[in-house]
Amino acid sequence: MFEYLKRFKRAIIISLTFMMALVLLLSTIELGWLIIKDISTPPIFLLDINELLDIFGLFMLVIIGIELLETIMKTYLTEGVDHVRVVIAVAIIAIARKVIILDVKELPSLTLIGIGVIIFVLSAGYYLIKHKRNEKTNEEVGIGNI
């Protein structure tokens, strides 16, 4: 029974991988179309701030999609991968995307403080997980706490 569930999970993950690749392809085409459309409308080759934010937002969305695709492939199709570390890395990239396209003038200061706290906590969590893993690796090799 467990073997069937394992095969079913693998089939779902493979189908999700193909669907994510298709979405990434379509998003990249959309990004290219947006750039061509924005630079070809008057004034030619000049973009206003809203167009730049749209382009950067879609660009970061494609980057996050690539990270998610890599996460699915690494985490779920190979064994021995630290799931938490990969998920936190993707979360850091997602919050970075949000910060890049953020209009700070329109947000209350409490929201900006909250975003800062989220970035700090995710970064600290990533560091602690990576540091703990390095300690385990050193202990296995026999280095210990030098």
pLDDT digit string, tens, across residues 80-120: 566 788 788 888 888 887 887 787 788 899 999 999 999 99
Q: Whole-structure pTM over 0.75, yes or no? A: no
Range 117-126 contact pairs with CB under 8 angstroms and sequence separation of 24 or more: 119/92, 119/95, 122/88, 122/91, 122/92, 122/95, 123/92, 125/88, 126/85, 126/88, 126/89, 126/92
**What percent of the chain has pLDDT above 70?**
90
Residue 29 confidence (pLDDT)? 96
Could you give phi then psi for residue 48, rounded to 5 degrees? Answer: -85, 175
Confidence of residue 130 (pLDDT cuts 50, 70, 90): confident
Domain boundaries, the chain: 2-141
Mean pLDDT, residues 26-32 taken together: 95
Most confident of 74-78, 126-130, 142-146: 126-130
Tell me the per-residue pLDDT of 43-57, one tens digit each, with 9 for 90 and over: 888 888 888 888 988
Banded pLDDT at 146 (limits 50, 70, 90) = very low
Confidence band for 139, pLDDT divided at 50, 70 and 90: low
